Chain A
Amino acid sequence: MTDLEYFKLSKPEKMLRSVGGFFARLPGTIWNGIKKLGLFIVSLVRGIGTNLADLVATFKDGDWKTRLSYLIMGFGSCARGQWGRGILFFLFQTVFNLYMFFPNAQFSGCYYLGKLSTLGTIETYKEGRRTVYGDNSFFILLYGVLTLFFIVAFIYTWRMNVKQNRISEQLLKSGHKLKTTKDDVASLMDEQFHKTMLALPTLGVTIFTILPILFMILVAFTNFDATHQPPSKLFTWVGWDNFKQLLSTDTTSYGDTFRHVLLWTLIWAFFATFLNYFLGMLVAIMINKKGIKLKKMWRTILVMTIAIPQFVSLLYVSKMFAADGLINTYLMKWGWISSPLPFWTDPTWARVTIIVINVWIGIPYLMLIATGILMNIPADLYESARIDGANAFQMYKKITLPYMLFVTGPYLLTSFTGNINNFNVIFLLSQGKPLSLQLSGNAGYTDLLITWLYKMTVNDTNYKLAAVMGILVFVVTAVINLIVYNMIPSVKNEEDFQ
């Protein structure tokens, strides 16, 4: 198809084509992915090979200081006067050894590592009436993962320690001076400033985000639930069983419900993103129209809703819409309706009510954003359009909207994925209700994947399924991101914006 033909197509057709294009390219993309993965593995193996060769070479060529550093980390550095580095290396090794081989077995890394394959075998038992707790599968898994982290970090640091020796030796051989501890500190404030700045955030993210996420991914392959609850009970590995339970459609599984909830999650995210987007833009256009007074006041009134904590405003609003709440009572008092409107009890009503209330929450944000962007649209665009005889609606369609869409492309994407995980609105308004016999696993018609996950974790302590759900939410988000990245140029070039 030529460009000309393409331009003749209608909007929906173009849309279809670009989505279709994505899927048409999909095999190629996947093939590329596989190729990349293959290359990655090859380079990984090569990397290990060169590293091993380098290790051997360093040992062969090195002096006794270098060789001793293989056993005692930091020895070489200290011996060559680089005390700061040396001591840090040594300290790290000491801590690592202490952790791995702590005399009290309950606290040592080796203990947890050894039990990782079974997640514990000693059952809780009674001694008289006293309870003696056995293995704690939870901590075995958690510390097992932590230990693996630690080991990887250790290998990396050890390798650095050896490399350091080789570099120092070569520098000395060629007559250069080595960096002193003072130089090292100074470089942390200059060339290596990024290390100083990122140290704490990286540590925080590693322990409080990466470690827990890895842990939960592993939980998806265990039977950790209410009846296998440490410390009283053990849990163990079960393979893909939990995925089967969540996705297959036989009577005791949640497959049908999962599809229902997933579909609603996507519908919700679509409306929550785009309805708010257009209505917010509309409100912004109205407020910013010339001749409208008190602009600041209108804006402030709207913006107030952002400031008030949602657990106050949304809880109150949810009660307002109850069958015997303010709205129904007054509508009935005024004789507008004869029986209460089923805001929260009818599935469709509940969904629409939530979307509408979400507009109430979302418009202020979008109004602010749209205001900022409208100001940035070059005025001469409109000028030349007017000369060509375009009316306001055409200008909106041809100038305002495309400009907004282009500039806010990345925002729309993050906002869409953010809405997939928009917990507060659903949790505070409907808690996922209404339920139905047609849905299983405590899920309701307004439940999103994320609120269902919450129910599984908190109400049912069904961690294994919650973990599977978390992984699936990740997959959904990732797929959407991939599709959009492939479709919208301004998203793809996000990083080039600067």
Chain B
Amino acid sequence: MKKVLAMLLCAAMLLGMVSLASAEGYSGDLKIWVAEAAVDFTKEQVEAFKAAHPEYAGMNVTVEAVGEGDAASKVITDVTAAADLFGFAQDQLARLVTAGALEEVEPGNAEIVKAENDAGSVGAVTLGEKMYAYPLTSDNGYFLYYDKSVVTDPSDLDAILADCEKAGKSFYFEMNSGWYQTAFFFGAGCQLTFETDNDGNLVKMNSTYASEEGVKALKAMIKLSKSPAFMNGSSFSTATNPGAIVDGTWDSTAAKEAFGDNYAAAKLPTVDGWQLGGFGGFKMLGVKPQEDEAKLGACDALAAYLSSEEVQLARYNALGWGPSNMKAQKSDAVQADVALAALADQLQYTIPQGQYPGEYWSLATGLGDDIIAKKYDNLDDAGLMDVLKTFETTCEGYLTK
């Protein structure tokens, strides 16, 4: 009975949305911010959207290149001057919502998003019970790119380091990033999550960093930092001598260029027998609050379109971004992709990235910088435990009071 009701409700909403949208239309200005690589692609898709929806054909859409990291900060700085639709990575979601810079997803669209995208991405766009953005990709995680001629066994960290050292190459891992660091902490069995309320306020922290597992992870990181082959970094454009690198799908083209025929990718290695974990992350498209209802309708429709199955698939084909749409994920091309396969392999060891306070990232950078600066090299287990305790209590201090 409940199911039927829900379906009816859902259908009614859908109908409502369609009729509303087709009745009104919109022909003013609309601005989109996406990453530089996606500008041309987005422009094409906007044209396709206009062709499919004559009521929006008169719309004047501008697409500007604003990086995903930058976009959120800019939108928060001045929401009225910011783009109406903007791409961002999920770690910005709570920050955007608490600043009042994101509109809720239109209820009809929310149902569709929920039904068609993988559970992780749906969770990532939802705060409390409210959905605030449209998932675009499920590929915002990291894994290992390596040079086949250098690394013989990509499944063990020590072996990788030994191979790199032998070949005079480096192993790049961004130790001072709160995002990459979790590979060690989560892999060792620790937990660090935050719970939010509907408005994006962080109300509770669940952490087991200050534990034996945490110490184990920290020790492994210190050991890595001591390796002569270790380099701090995660980007091909600044890595001058990579033999292997922990990086994401957005760098797959650069990786292919750098490694040529020896290009290969795999899940993260194991350390002393335990598998490195980390975040499975997502990219999403947000709509900012609108004062004009017709424009909001246009934004909703365009955002829904840009996150739909066909466009996600087209985006994969054009840019190599791994879709969050479950049907698109099952397409042959996506299944055959080396980088995405490695990512998918890694994903089973990761947890979907939730919301973290903005201060967490700089705190984690501090921890990483301390490790690289060799501050913890001489600490015993108790000393390391104290470090993690400090880390944990500081994190807890970031909760919304």
A-side residues, CB < 8 A to B, are: 124, 128-133, 226-227, 229, 231-233, 251-252, 319, 322-325, 329, 338-339, 342, 345-347, 433-442, 444, 458-461
Q: Take A131-B290, A132-B291, A442-B362 as given contacts and tell me if A437 and B390 are in contact as well, using a CB distance cutoff of 8 Å.
A: yes
Q: Take A131-B103, A232-B100, A251-B393 as given contacts and tell me if A325 and B372 are in contact as well, using a CB distance cutoff of 8 Å.
A: no
Residues B370 and A436 in contact, CB atoms below 8 Å apart: yes
Within 8 Å of chain A (Cβ to Cβ): is B80?
A: yes
Within 8 A of A (CB), among B209-256: 228, 231-233, 238-241
Residues A347 and B394 in contact, CB atoms below 8 Å apart: no
From residue B66, how far is it (CB to closest CB) to chain A in Å? 14
- A319 CB contact (under 8 Å) in B238, B362, B390: B238
Residues B80 and A226 in contact, CB atoms below 8 Å apart: no
The interface residues of chain A lying within 8 Å CB-to-CB of B27 are none
The interface residues of chain B lying within 8 Å CB-to-CB of A129 are 103-104, 106, 293, 296
The interface residues of chain B lying within 8 Å CB-to-CB of A442 are 359, 362
Residues A229 and B291 in contact, CB atoms below 8 Å apart: no
Residues B387 and A437 in contact, CB atoms below 8 Å apart: yes
**What 10 A-B pairs have minimum CB-CB distances, sorted nearest first?**
A232-B100, A434-B369, A131-B289, A435-B366, A442-B362, A130-B293, A324-B240, A229-B99, A345-B372, A436-B366
B-side residues, CB < 8 A to A, are: 73, 76-77, 79-80, 95, 98-101, 103-104, 106, 170, 176, 228, 231-233, 238-241, 289-293, 296, 358-359, 362-363, 365-367, 369-370, 372-375, 387, 390-391, 393-394, 397, 400
Complex CA distance for A124 and B289, rounded to whole angstroms: 11
Complex CA distance for A338 and B76, rounded to whole angstroms: 46
Q: What are some 23 contacts across the A-B interface (CB < 8 A)?
A: A129-B293, A131-B103, A132-B291, A227-B99, A229-B99, A229-B100, A232-B99, A323-B231, A329-B241, A338-B228, A342-B373, A345-B369, A347-B373, A434-B176, A434-B369, A434-B370, A435-B369, A437-B367, A441-B362, A442-B362, A460-B358, A461-B73, A461-B77
From residue A250, how far is it (CB to closest CB) to chain B in Å? 10
Complex CA distance for A232 and B80, rounded to whole angstroms: 10
Complex CA distance for A491 and B373, rounded to whole angstroms: 43
From residue A233, how far is it (CB to closest CB) to chain B in Å? 5
The residue in chain B whose Cβ has the minimal distance to the Cβ of A457 is B77
Complex CA distance for A325 and B238, rounded to whole angstroms: 9
The residue in chain B whose Cβ has the minimal distance to the Cβ of A436 is B366
The interface residues of chain A lying within 8 Å CB-to-CB of B372 are 342, 345, 434
Complex CA distance for A375 and B98, rounded to whole angstroms: 63
The residue in chain A whose Cβ has the minimal distance to the Cβ of B291 is A131
- A461 CB contact (under 8 Å) in B76, B290, B400: B76
- B232 CB contact (under 8 Å) in A232, A252, A345: A345
The interface residues of chain A lying within 8 Å CB-to-CB of B103 are 129, 131
From residue A76, how far is it (CB to closest CB) to chain B in Å? 47
The interface residues of chain B lying within 8 Å CB-to-CB of A233 are 99-100
Q: Known contacts A227-B99, A231-B79, A433-B369; can you find 13 more A-B pairs with CB under 8 A?
A: A128-B293, A232-B79, A251-B393, A324-B170, A324-B233, A338-B228, A342-B373, A345-B372, A345-B373, A435-B365, A436-B366, A439-B366, A441-B362
Residues B397 and A252 in contact, CB atoms below 8 Å apart: yes
The interface residues of chain B lying within 8 Å CB-to-CB of A441 are 359, 362
From residue A204, how far is it (CB to closest CB) to chain B in Å? 24
The interface residues of chain A lying within 8 Å CB-to-CB of B100 are 124, 229, 232-233
Complex CA distance for A439 and B365, rounded to whole angstroms: 11
Residues A226 and B397 in contact, CB atoms below 8 Å apart: no
From residue B88, how far is it (CB to closest CB) to chain A in Å? 15
Residues A227 and B73 in contact, CB atoms below 8 Å apart: no
Q: Take A132-B291, A226-B358 as given contacts and tell me if A440 and B77 are in contact as well, using a CB distance cutoff of 8 Å.
A: no
- B101 CB contact (under 8 Å) in A232, A339, A342, A346: A232
Residues B289 and A232 in contact, CB atoms below 8 Å apart: yes
Complex CA distance for A226 and B104, rounded to whole angstroms: 19
The interface residues of chain A lying within 8 Å CB-to-CB of B370 are 434, 436-438
The interface residues of chain A lying within 8 Å CB-to-CB of B238 are 319, 322
- B291 CB contact (under 8 Å) in A130, A226, A440: A130
From residue B142, how far is it (CB to closest CB) to chain A in Å? 19
- A251 CB contact (under 8 Å) in B373, B394, B400: B394
Complex CA distance for A442 and B240, rounded to whole angstroms: 28
Complex CA distance for A322 and B232, rounded to whole angstroms: 10
The residue in chain A whose Cβ has the minimal distance to the Cβ of B296 is A129
The interface residues of chain A lying within 8 Å CB-to-CB of B359 are 441-442
The interface residues of chain A lying within 8 Å CB-to-CB of B369 are 345, 433-436, 444
- B373 CB contact (under 8 Å) in A227, A252, A434: A434
Residues B373 and A346 in contact, CB atoms below 8 Å apart: yes
From residue B316, how far is it (CB to closest CB) to chain A in Å? 31
